[in-house]
Structure 1
Amino acid sequence: MSAPEIKEIVENLGRAFEEFKSTNDARLKAVEKGGATGDIEVKLGNIDKALTDLGDLKGRLEAVEKKGNRPGVGGDAAALAAEHKQAFGRFMRKGDDSGFAELEAKSLSVGSDADGGFAVPEELDRNIIQLERDAVPMRSVCNVITVGNEEYKRLVNLGGAASGWVGEEDARPDTGTPRLASVAPFFGELYANPKATQKSLDDMYFDAEAWLGEEVALEFADKESAAFTAGDGVKKPKGFLAYANAATGDATRPLGTLQFIVSGAAATITPDALIDLIYALKQGYRKNAAFMLNSLTLPVLRKLKDADGNYLWRPGLDADAPSTLHSKPVVENDDMPIVAAGSLALAFGDFKRGYTIADVRGTRVLRDPYTNKPFVSFYTTKRVGGGLMNSNAIKLLKISA
């Protein structure tokens, strides 16, 4: 995708935003004068939709451009990956698993026939993860790691180390010992069972690997997005919204409990509440913080202004630049609650420090041509975990009742 095409989208986005501002200003003036606003509301809704569509298109074009610029793998690793890919293709199309175990041993891949399936080639595995990242907003902002098993834990310093002022010759008494606690993601196994006919697999023009990658990524992405956001942690990751929350500050709130700020007005969001939300987060976390919200919340935020009449939301008008709110990136996550009384409709924080996604190394595929003839099923599994690591790094906005 060429840069001029992206530039044209950005220019259209800028013009749409200017039209949105002038139309909303006209709506506000009509409200002040007690006039009818029906036609203006319709126009505003259409422009709002255009802003969303242009923003989505810009993101897709930039993703395509990045994919085209991605460097390849060289040397012996590339040769081994190509050999593994060819063997996997034979396995998918014909069920021929000859030499597969030896290839996996050489490439140190996880999964073997004894485990109930074969590991997918590294390239396909990366493509699945990349497709998931594009479709799962949490993967784009959180700390994503690859682990060998589900024993991953992280130590958190709860403080407690004392200190004090002393003179040059004063005694230095012992100080308190820091208190440590461990936190860990909640793990679960994801599975998908896409089916293809043997006839389609025999077609040399049918890209079986791409088909499997896209089918599996779409299924996994839906489940992962919901789990990372609000999953209950039972046989699945625990979403950050599923952790306890309280109005108390960092100094007195228990580990693993998120702080919420009240929106300040019934069933809506006020500019003052956004300021309170931002500054409830300590300075060290604000530098890399972002807002996360449902796309249906965007129309509410686009209409907000500061005390000087400036709009708080701005579209990303530079290459790779996201939309911003108070100059902080806006991440759309449709698994976030919508604006409603009592909902946690907005999150703000440094998600990379606050939440960790742990992919257990290796995605496995079991080929089944028998159960559902004439279809060949590809039972695909991966293990993934997710959990809150630092409850001070993320704050929530709770809509007033």
Structure 2
Amino acid sequence: MKKKKLLEMRAAKQKRMKEILEAATNEERALNTEERDEFGTLEEEIRGIDETIKAMESMRNLEKEPEEPKKEEGSQEERDLETFESFLRGTAGETRADNMTSTDNGAVIPSSIANKIIEKVLDISPVFYDADRYNVKGTLTIPYYDEATGDITMDYAEEFTEGESTSGKFKSISLAGFLGRAITDVSKSLINNSNFDIVNFTINRMAKSIAKWIEKELLIGTNKKIEGLQGVTQKVTAKAADKVTADEIIDLQESIPDVYQADAYFIMNKKTRTAIRKLKDGQGNYLLNKDANSRWGYTLFGKDVYTSDAMPEMAAGKRAIYYGDYKGLAVKVSEDVTIDVLRETKARQHVVEVLAFLEMDAKVQNAEMLAALEMAAA
């Protein structure tokens, strides 16, 4: 019997029960024996119909095929990585439009991929990592207190006497934005190898290229572009053009106030470090020591030593060593770091071109925190 027929039967019985009650009510009497028996029978039959309908619904639910559990979607970053790999391999298909901005020859990669590259750059370049970084758009103005023009002083005071006010001046540096570009060509032979981790390979290649450029600009700078540590004003000048002495390194280290010594370290070219490794004190002990607990394996007068290929070798007029706390260097990086993948521009060379664009500027914001050792002029 169908559910519709059962419901019709239930409604008819319910109507009859109502009629029995209304008849007794209108006649202002109680139900007689015959009416009570009929009412009870109808009530029992309605209860049986309800149980039958409930059983039919339960059976219908049991006959339904269970739905397959929905596949959990990964995080946005995981989806972006998957789409990035698909685009590199040329299998992006229809998913490309949802996760990437298409161009005539390729696509602009989501910001999560660009952020992973910047994270790698921070791992590669300690100077960039330790600098005071600002991720903002437009020109950034940073005020600083110039104690060279005077300083706030405190002294004993006597009643009914006036003191003299002294103070320095607030000055500021402005960080604009200079556009840099890194280009990496990825072989299609590598891309077509499904067992090769093309995503991490591309991210690491781009990170190394960007880190090399950033570190060079922070340490050396470019005239009329990024100033970097060119703006260091505290310096010690070596007596020779091609070698340094222990006393000169001590003078360099002591030019930084004690309050900034805790996080200070040396930066130099590897050949400069090699030369310093040969320096000895009066007892014949080497000044530069291997130290497993240091960041880069060596300490000089108790401070870590970092070598960078961007630093010049010891030569006439060159700044061969920097020392200090590199939070004294302000670095502004635009929020809009972009990564483009171009599949067609170098198709004849069987490579895919990956470009990164980065807007950056850097200047010294606290001159007391940094110092340079400059070689003598020729």
Please confirm whether the aligned pair reaches a TM-score higher than 0.5, indicating the same fold.
yes
Determine which of 122, 142, 147 is the counterpart of 1:133. 122
User: How many equivalent pairs are there?
Assistant: 301
- Letter aligned with residue 329 of structure 2: Y
Alignment of 1:42-61 (within 5 A): none
1:391 Cα deviation after fit: 1.8
Aligned to 2:376: 400
Aligned to 2:364: 388
Q: Structure 1's 339 and 194: CA in aligned 2 closer, same or farther, altered over 3 A?
A: closer
Aligned to 2:7: none
Alignment of 1:304-323 (within 5 A): 304-318=279-293, 320=295, 322-323=297-298
- Letter aligned with residue 139 of structure 2: E
* Structure-2 separation of matches of 1:177 and 1:340: 41
* Structure-2 separation of matches of 1:182 and 1:168: 36
| Partner secondary structure for residue 184 of structure 1 | strand
Q: Structure 1's 336 and 385: CA in aligned 2 closer, same or farther, altered over 3 A?
A: same
* Structure-1 separation of matches of 2:366 and 2:312: 22
| Partner secondary structure for residue 341 of structure 1 | coil
1:363 maps to 2:337: yes
Aligned to 1:93: 89
* Structure-2 separation of matches of 1:279 and 1:118: 49
1:189 maps to 2:171: no
1:345 maps to 2:320: yes
* Structure-2 separation of matches of 1:166 and 1:319: 46
Aligned to 2:217: 227
1:127 Cα deviation after fit: 3.7
Deviates more, 1:92-101 or 1:177-186: 92-101
* Structure-1 separation of matches of 2:219 and 2:210: 14
**C-alpha contact 1:302 1:312 (8 A) present in aligned 2:** yes
Determine which of 135, 139, 147 is the counterpart of 1:147. 135
**C-alpha contact 1:117 1:364 (8 A) present in aligned 2:** no
Deviates more, 1:165-174 or 1:78-87: 165-174
1:329 Cα deviation after fit: 0.9
Alignment of 1:205-216 (within 5 A): 205-216=195-206
**C-alpha contact 1:261 1:273 (8 A) present in aligned 2:** yes
Kindly provide the CA deviation profile for residues 286-309 of structure 1, in whole angstroms up to 9, marking residues without a partner as x: 232111111001222112223343
Normalising by structure 1, we get a TM-score of 0.64
1:330 Cα deviation after fit: 0.7
1:204 maps to 2:178: no
* Structure-1 separation of matches of 2:109 and 2:123: 22
Alignment of 1:151-190 (within 5 A): 151-159=139-147, 160=150, 162-165=152-155, 167=157, 169-170=159-160, 175=165, 178-185=168-175, 187-190=177-180
- Letter aligned with residue 290 of structure 2: P
Determine which of 259, 274, 282 is the counterpart of 2:257. 282
CA RMSD of aligned residues (A): 3.4
1:229 Cα deviation after fit: 1.2
**C-alpha contact 1:85 1:121 (8 A) present in aligned 2:** no
Kindly provide the CA deviation profile for residues 23-79 of structure 1, in whole angstroms up to 9, marking residues without a partner as x: xxxxxxxxxxxxxxxxxxxxxxxxxxxxxxxxxxxxxxxxxxxxxxxxxxxxx9972
Q: Structure 1's 186 and 309: CA in aligned 2 closer, same or farther, altered over 3 A?
A: farther
Aligned to 1:46: none
Q: Structure 1's 318 and 287: CA in aligned 2 closer, same or farther, altered over 3 A?
A: closer
Kindly provide the CA deviation profile for residues 322-357 of structure 1, in whole angstroms up to 9, marking residues without a partner as x: 4111111111122222122332211111112x2133
Unaligned runs of 5+ in 2: 1-71
Alignment of 1:10-89 (within 5 A): 79-89=75-85
* Structure-2 separation of matches of 1:79 and 1:220: 26
| Partner secondary structure for residue 368 of structure 2 | coil
Deviates more, 1:161-170 or 1:178-187: 161-170
* Structure-2 separation of matches of 1:299 and 1:334: 13
* Structure-1 separation of matches of 2:366 and 2:242: 29
Normalising by structure 2, we get a TM-score of 0.68
| Partner secondary structure for residue 400 of structure 1 | coil
Percent identical pairs in the alignment equals: 21
Unaligned runs of 5+ in 1: 1-75, 105-111, 244-256
* Structure-2 separation of matches of 1:321 and 1:373: 42
- Letter aligned with residue 366 of structure 1: D
